Amino acid sequence: MNLLLFRDDLRVHDNPTLAEAARDGFVPVYVFDERDYGETRYGTEKTGAHRARFIRETVEDLRSSLRELGGDLAVRQGRTEEVVASLVDGYGVDTVFLQTKPATEEFGRERAVRETARAEGAETRRLWTHTLHHINDLPTPPERMNDTFTPWRKEVEANDKPRETVDAPDGIDTPSFDDGIPSLDELGLEPSEDDGRGALGFEGGETRALERLEEYIWERDLLREYKETRNRLVGADYSSKLSAWLARGSISPRRVYEEVKRYEDERVSNDSTYWLVFELRWRDFFQFGFVKHGSAFFAPGGIRGVSREWRGRGERFERWCKGTTGVPFVDAAMRELNATGYTSNRARQNVASFLVDVLGVDWRLGAAYFEEKLVDYDVASNWGNWAYQAGVGNDSRDRYFNVLKQGKRYDGDGGFVRTWVEEKEASPNPHEPYAPEGYDAPVVDVRTEYDRLAEERG
């Protein structure tokens, strides 16, 4: 008997772990690990209500898919290694199959599972399943990879082709379970209501992920102009919005790649089709970077060991979190994030730069806040991108975003700001700094701060 521990691979298509475990009778299980639903060292929550809802829906959809194949899914709450030990003992499991991931906590939990399985007399099989390019196929192993994206990308593009996707099993043989899925209340969270202003109502699960892929690429032909639209801020269709499903493994990056290639064969191959694959490789870059650098990604000075004094928690950070800085573009993005669990890549770059470059707040506080709020949170992508923006990660250039100029450039008509910042709803100057409701002034004189940055960094 096998045991399959689902982690961030919550799908039946292109799931090599499922394909191998299902060759015999097996016990599939997903664990709502209690350590994922509590407070972090930074005073934020590990998982907020938006992502928790999305995960619950994803697990429900996975269970439905497994039942359609003739099986079922055990859903448990507790500590993953303890749940696995109990199931190994109770079902006489010989082999535990699981997805392996490189981040510190994730790998620590995996190690604990291996140890408890071994203590119960079972071996463990680990499979790498969450990137476009397989770790064993890279032209240069992660331990020796270039820390700058462009040369790494060019090497991968020249030497590596992703593996083909794996078909879902025709049928599976598992025990039956009558487990319920923990409610948000049981996970210690308050439900959050969608007020209708969000870019996309993210619904968890493989079913919706594949529908979105079909809609975006084929039904609405939006891939054709992806590069031109990807920096927009309002609406559902300026980008693929696949990130949340990729983060939970509800859709395979290789499946996305294959659909892009089919689109190139059947409709058009252009900069936009290339750019969506480019973004998948950007995602891969941080996954493999975590293999190389591990816990260094969480250090104040990052993987480069940059020495800098950072501000800690305080009014600056709290106002940034609430979207009451008095800088409209920043506040709109943070209010969107708080209300929906999502904000665009362009907005994320700007609010991150504002926190670390203008407010001087420890970048790790921002990364931890995003960890709590984002429906599409992925440890490597989130912490890698934050370190990159803070100048302590995979880029030696100490760049910053001028959010006043960025707001006018990417939100010229003020539609994004007016959607989310009520104080600016009727303003003829939507991007002019303002005094948020309850405050006498913006958190800083932002123009003075940009003058300072220009003098310091050129």
280 is in an annotated binding site: yes
CA distance 25 to 18: 11
Angle, alpha carbons 8-20-32 (nearest 5°)? 30
37 is in an annotated binding site: no
Nearest to 382, CA basis, from 10, 29, 14, 47: 47
240 is in an annotated binding site: yes
Are 384 and 393 a contacting pair, CB within 8 Å? yes
292 is in an annotated binding site: no
- In DSSP notation, 347-386 reads HHHHHHHIIIIIS-B-HHHHHHHHHHH-TT--HHHHHHHH
- In DSSP notation, 164-233 reads PP-PPPS--------PPPPPTTTTT-------S-SS-----SHHHHHHHHHIIIIIS--GGGHHHHTT--
283 is in an annotated binding site: yes
241 is in an annotated binding site: yes
186 is in an annotated binding site: no
202 is in an annotated binding site: no
DSSP 3-state assignment of 77?
strand
CA distance 326 to 196: 24
CA distance 336 to 369: 14
378 is in an annotated binding site: yes
Write the single-letter amino acid at 307: S
CA distance 445 to 51: 34
Write the single-letter amino acid at 44: T
Are 297 and 289 a contacting pair, CB within 8 Å? yes
Sheet architecture: strand order including 74-78:
74-78, 26-33, 2-6, 95-99, 123-127
Can you read off the two tokens belonging to residue 364?
Answer: 């790790």
Residues in the chain: 458
239 is in an annotated binding site: yes
285 is in an annotated binding site: yes
252 is in an annotated binding site: no
362 is in an annotated binding site: no
272 is in an annotated binding site: no
269 is in an annotated binding site: no
Can you read off the two tokens belonging to residue 83?
Answer: 């749940």
Q: Binding site for FAD, residues?
A: 226, 239-243, 279-286, 376-378
Q: Binding site, residues?
A: 226, 239-243, 279-286, 376-378
